[in-house]
Structure 1
Amino acid sequence: MKFLWTLLAFSIFFLLLSFAGDFLVVAEEPKIADAIIVLSGDDGGRTERAVELYRQGYAPYLILSGGRIYQETTMAELMMQHALKLGVPKEAIVLENKSSSTYQNAVHSKEIMEKYKFKSAIVVSSNYHMRRTRVVFEQVFQGTGNVFAYVPSADQDYNPARWWEKNRSIMVTITEYIKLIGYVLRMAT
């Protein structure tokens, strides 16, 4: 009997583990908004998804959020260069170049939204990053009345339904859970 309980426990554990990647992904339909907030941290796919939404008329502004990566350069500036090459006019771009974490992305994006009196935004990040992004943004913007839609960019290297097949995906999944749990625990204290 003990063997059956052990087998059942392992079966449940592995079943839950198989859904670990899917849980990280939050994918909402885009809605007309005041701006599109793009979080840094990839090789350009997030910016490309934001530009696609911009071209489709979902928002008139891009807020490019990412701090210093080199002595003279920020991620926001690199993202802007990419967006400009994709045809977004400079006057449609607002840079947030102080952040170095998802929490700071949210805090500094909130400052920009208050300055420009934006009340809604589409938030773009990688698919695996969206659960934590939503948790952080909802906490930072709590009580403001701001409305968000969370729209992921496609990450060709991360398949949430089969995350255990690639070393990079395994590391991404583990890292996201560590960061998500750490953030939730800090919120609770």
Structure 2
Amino acid sequence: MKKLPLALSFGASAIALASFFFWLAFYLRGRQFALRERLHRADAIVVLAGTRGNIKFLQGKIATAVRLYQKGWAPRIICSGKFSVKVTETPTLIPMSELQAAVGQGRIQEKDVAPAAKSWDVALGACYMCEQAVQMGVPRGVILVENESLHTKENAEMVLALAKKHKMRRIILVTSPFHQRRTYLTFAKVFQSHGVEILNYYADTGEWHPATWFLSTEHRKLVRSEEERIKKYRAKGDLL
């Protein structure tokens, strides 16, 4: 009879160990997306628009960039992105004519037009982010606004133009945790021959986290979507 508690103890230890390695595997997978590197002083903190339909998600990115600025990691903030997905029923949508023009210019695909016309809110783009950062205590004069980009590659191209204009040699890149890897690979491809270093620092958005993402069905779908997009855009030559 004395052997039973010992067996149960070994069984419980085995389950605990298996559970730990199960969690560790998913955590390491999450860290492949949520990139955060040791910081060095940079010339600007770049923060990208995007809400995923939840304003707290965008606020988390802005707050992360502001915190890094206030800690002295860079003397400027660059807010990038024309729009975010709407969070109210009264968004300021991009006109259909402008979206069709973007298709004609090869900036977006025709399939993007219908959803964009219903959900791309320019009132939640870079100008909004700038105003929020100012309210959080950042001087308006240190914020650069890039409010024309329609997707991640354009974010990178238009931020590069600002970096070259202001002779920047290093930026800190801030975006959603699950989007950080693809954003970095996109920026790295655009920046690769221009001598601008990129440091990754995923935002504290209060939602997706590398230690717990796999507990949510929605977040597991996000990771699969990111993996598919990385393969797709790398095949197109858009990623490093």
TM-score (norm 2): 0.67
> Does 1:81 pair with 2:131?
yes
Note the C-alpha offset of 1:74: 5.2
Q: Which moved more, 1:76-85 or 1:153-162?
A: 153-162
Note the C-alpha offset of 1:158: 1.2
CA distance in 2, matches of 1:38, 1:162: 24
CA deviations on 1:23-45 (whole Å, 9 max, x unpaired) are 21211022101111111113211
CA distance in 1, matches of 2:238, 2:83: 30
CA contact (8 A) 1:33 1:120 kept: yes
1:48 corresponds to: 63
Counterpart residue type for residue 72 of structure 2: G
1:153 corresponds to: 203
CA distance in 2, matches of 1:52, 1:87: 10
Counterpart residue type for residue 32 of structure 1: R
2:80 corresponds to: 65
CA contact (8 A) 1:74 1:97 kept: no
CA distance in 2, matches of 1:132, 1:85: 30
CA distance in 2, matches of 1:186, 1:24: 20
Structure 1 runs of 4+ aligned residues shifted over 4 Å read: 14-17
1:136 corresponds to: 186
> Does 1:166 pair with 2:166?
no
Q: What pairs up with 1:1-40 in 2 under 5 angstroms?
A: 18=26, 19-40=28-49
Q: Say how many residue pairs are matched.
A: 176
Q: 1:119 to 1:63 in 2, by over 3 A?
A: same
Structure 1 residue aligned with 2:143, among 71, 78, 93?
Answer: 93
> Does 1:104 pair with 2:113?
no
CA distance in 1, matches of 2:46, 2:192: 17
Q: Which moved more, 1:71-80 or 1:176-185?
A: 71-80
Q: Unpaired runs of 5+ in structure 2? A: 1-21, 52-57, 85-91, 94-121
CA distance in 2, matches of 1:15, 1:121: 32
CA contact (8 A) 2:78 2:143 kept: yes
2:104 corresponds to: none
Note the C-alpha offset of 1:188: 7.7
CA contact (8 A) 2:77 2:142 kept: yes
Counterpart residue type for residue 41 of structure 1: G
Note the C-alpha offset of 1:16: 10
Note the C-alpha offset of 1:164: 2.6
CA contact (8 A) 2:189 2:238 kept: no
CA distance in 1, matches of 2:43, 2:150: 24
Counterpart residue type for residue 140 of structure 1: V
CA distance in 2, matches of 1:33, 1:188: 25
Q: Give the aligned CA root-mean-square deviation in angstroms.
A: 2.2
Larger radius of gyration: 2
CA distance in 1, matches of 2:238, 2:82: 27
Counterpart residue type for residue 132 of structure 1: R
CA distance in 2, matches of 1:57, 1:87: 13
